[in-house]
Structure 1
Amino acid sequence: MTDENAQATEPSREFSLQRIFVKDISFETPNSPSIFTQEWKPESNLNLNSNVSKLDNDLFEIVLTVTVTTKIGDKTAYLVEVQQGGIFTIRNFPDAEMGHMLGAYCPNILFPYAREVVSDLVSKGSFPQLLLTPVSFDALYAQHMQEQAQSAEPATH
């Protein structure tokens, strides 16, 4: 079989970004203005989550939720949550690769946008700038898959 015939039998893969949008934003400063009078030694907690919705045959909505809770002692300075959405066309990828595309590749594209929104909201709340460090969604996806594989294994005695 020639290369030309092989290409004819395998449909070409297609990946494209259709739209990026902010789906939901929340910013709370439950202890303001008194929190501004305290020494700024914050502790922040970052939580990431992604959700996939199939819109059409090859059209997917991916929503990356980024939640940051920052406290000074036991008082919450601020809580910010951003749901950064994207609509992607993903066509003719093998099933083995689709999970990675939806669970790692697409969230990796969305994260810089969510990171910028979080930084802007924190600054507009009159707090020092917050720059979230880059995240390896590939590593998070691999860890998630490993945890799923371990929980699926039957217990041996």
Structure 2
Amino acid sequence: MAENQAQFALQRIYIKDASFEAPNAPASFTKEWKPEIKLDLNSGARKLDEQHFEVSVKVTVTATNADETAFLVELEQAGLFTMANIPEEQLKPMLGAMCPNILFPYLRESIDSLVVKGGFPALMLAPVNFDALYQQRLQQEQQKAAEQAQAEGSETIQ
């Protein structure tokens, strides 16, 4: 293999943090099950060394039923990726979209497993389009930068 050839490899997938709470059990099992599900999702990446990156997807799922918290699940699914000789303009979308897309099915299965083991009906999270989320985040950052530049420009005029 050529030394400057782009390299990408998934080294390991792991749960970095997990928490499950059912604060109103067993009373929550006696009520009709019509939950409201709230989902908070974040992803991030950090460089460990020249070739290794940790990418993580963190989700918090809160299920309320009859105005009480039935369960709360927090899970951070992470992966260790090797990336070498990848241009910067390709590296960012890989870390911000491609790697989270790889991790999400594992996170989804882990959430479902915790919820079922907690005595609740299965919870299969809908697929997430991390490519679209990444593009949205890029647009927001560009808009903020433009607003900052405009604000700084108007400050110097005064």
Tell me what 1:80 maps to.
73
- The amino acid that maps onto 2:72 is L
Q: How much does 1:126 deviate?
A: 0.7
Q: How much does 1:47 deviate?
A: 1.2
Aligned counterparts of 1:102 and 1:54: Cα–Cα separation in 2: 10
* TM-score (norm. length: structure 1): 0.89
Tell me what 1:125 maps to.
118
Structure 2: runs of 5 or more not aligned: none
Tell me what 1:65 maps to.
58
Answer yes or no: is 1:113 the counterpart of 2:103.
no
Aligned counterparts of 1:53 and 1:114: Cα–Cα separation in 2: 19
- The amino acid that maps onto 1:116 is E
Q: How much does 1:75 deviate?
A: 0.9
Provide Cα deviations, 1:89-127, integer angstroms capped at 9, x if missing partner. 111111111110111111110000010000000001110
Tell me what 1:152 maps to.
145
CA RMSD of aligned residues (A): 1.6
Q: How much does 1:74 deviate?
A: 2.3
- The amino acid that maps onto 2:104 is F
- Total equivalences in the alignment: 149
Tell me what 2:8 maps to.
15
Percent sequence identity is 54
Aligned counterparts of 2:92 and 2:63: Cα–Cα separation in 1: 32
Answer yes or no: is 1:24 the counterpart of 2:17.
yes
Aligned counterparts of 1:153 and 1:66: Cα–Cα separation in 2: 30
Aligned counterparts of 1:15 and 1:53: Cα–Cα separation in 2: 16
Structure 1: runs of 5 or more not aligned: 1-7
Q: How much does 1:51 deviate?
A: 2.1
* TM-score (norm. length: structure 2): 0.89
